[in-house]
A and B are shown apart, each in its own frame.
Chain A
């Protein structure tokens, strides 16, 4: 599997620094988490060669440099946050055209498209026009086009935005499956997307990487720091800066919150990715 290394990558727009000296490795199924405006989409666009970095270096397996844009493009498959194109043509026609644009011969492309449509479960809808597809189906066409040519690196930006619950689950399962034998980078602000699909996690906050590592390593950061108990609304309000989640239970609330002092830590619960993410992103605010 491929390893993408970023070294001191910087990017500014109109005197505002969006990415600050990013240095980390992307490998396996890698989830990039961060609040809106953290710089995730900018980073995706740099990795897909759509915008250049101001400085720094990006390489694949320490060999291929991102300065070699044309070659890099032939190694990546990209599904952006907003995917919609060629509304007047059918799914198959669209994919066939995109395959040719990617440099796949038409005869070979037909076979590949057939197997990709199976993989993304769109065989039944292959003769439908793009404008007739639901949001979830469109995302699946998007992933199929990204997979054309069997790219070494698959980049997916905000995979489940705009999908209903059922489609979300189906799409996450698909991403999980796709990440088994290839390097896949998923950028999102939805923690469940990462929890279900990725082994490695990076957290981006205000243009800086504040964590990279395995899921378990992220959870370990907040082990012993999460508590869950029934509190009144007034009690919950008193610790609102520490609250992770609230669930109404009759006249009280089941409150999940961070604890910092030792005595309370004795009755803590096992942490989730969301707990760790909130802990890191709230730190210093």
Chain B
């Protein structure tokens, strides 16, 4: 509870500078597409935008929260303060993930308004676990590499390869994406969402262990 009071989101936002706005830009582009597209395949394209653009942006703040720590080497000062590794890592990352979810929900609600046959519940089950996974993956890669370029490259390369191969055997790595064409939940997709959530939690734990063991 004491640690919670030390969270200062407006300050963290200000310290990120212009980088803070990138996820909002991605989500806004998604909202504009959903609102104005009249393509026959609009649902499939919208699904692609959510899976390949919006969801991966959940990792953005998880990485940028540690920019000062590692790129500016502020970790040496900040880790000498009476704060727990849980505060430095999971608490800050989760608070920004919640902020991401708020913006993300606006996109999902826009989709359900434009396409009333799609339920918000289905969209949440489909995409929120993906966002959880990306958020904690970004955190873990950042504290592991202590360099913003490495996690960014990994995420961009992964999503690009998955888009080009559409989950095929050409790039035989775990599929975070559902490649859904109708944005509806099936048993298979529920299973994938559970897996994504579990993997996300594992990444959060791994990131926490790294930050606890290796401070500088």
A→B interface (CB under 8 Å): 45, 48-51, 70-71, 73-74, 76, 78-80, 82-89, 93, 97-98, 100-103, 142, 145
Q: List residues of chain A with CB within 8 A of the CB of B8.
A: 97, 100
Q: Is B72 an interface residue (CB 8 A)?
A: yes
**Looking at chain B, what size class is its interface with the partner chain?**
20 to 34
List the count of A-B residue pairs having beta carbons below 8 Å apart: 72
Q: Is B172 an interface residue (CB 8 A)?
A: no
Q: Is B103 an interface residue (CB 8 A)?
A: no
What 1/0 mask marks residues of chain B from 190 to 215 whose CB sits below 8 Å from any chain A CB?
Answer: 00000000000000000000000001
CA distance A268 to B14 in the complex (A): 61
The contact of A89 among B6, B14, B82, by CB within 8 Å, is: B14
Q: Are A76 and B6 in contact, CB atoms less than 8 angstroms apart?
A: no
A217 to nearest B CB, angstroms? 31
At the interface with chain A, which of B33-41, B73-81, B93-101, B144-152? B73-81
User: Can you report 18 A-B residue pairs in the complex whose CB atoms are below 8 A from each other?
Assistant: A48-B76, A49-B80, A51-B215, A70-B82, A73-B83, A78-B80, A80-B73, A80-B77, A82-B76, A84-B73, A85-B68, A85-B78, A89-B15, A93-B11, A98-B77, A101-B83, A103-B2, A103-B82
Q: Are B79 and A50 in contact, CB atoms less than 8 angstroms apart?
A: yes
Q: List residues of chain B with CB within 8 A of the CB of A86.
A: 15, 68, 72, 74
B→A interface (CB under 8 Å): 2, 6, 8, 11, 14-17, 68, 72-74, 76-84, 215-216
Known contacts A83-B77, A86-B68: does B82 contact A74 (CB below 8 Å)?
Answer: yes
The contact of A88 among B17, B82, B216, by CB within 8 Å, is: B17
Which residue of chain B lies nearest to A97 when distances are taken between CB atoms in the complex? Answer: B11
Which residue of chain A lies nearest to B16 when distances are taken between CB atoms in the complex? Answer: A88
Q: Are B72 and A84 in contact, CB atoms less than 8 angstroms apart?
A: yes
CA distance A100 to B82 in the complex (A): 11
CA distance A276 to B68 in the complex (A): 41
Q: Are A76 and B73 in contact, CB atoms less than 8 angstroms apart?
A: no
The contact of A51 among B6, B11, B81, B216, by CB within 8 Å, is: B216
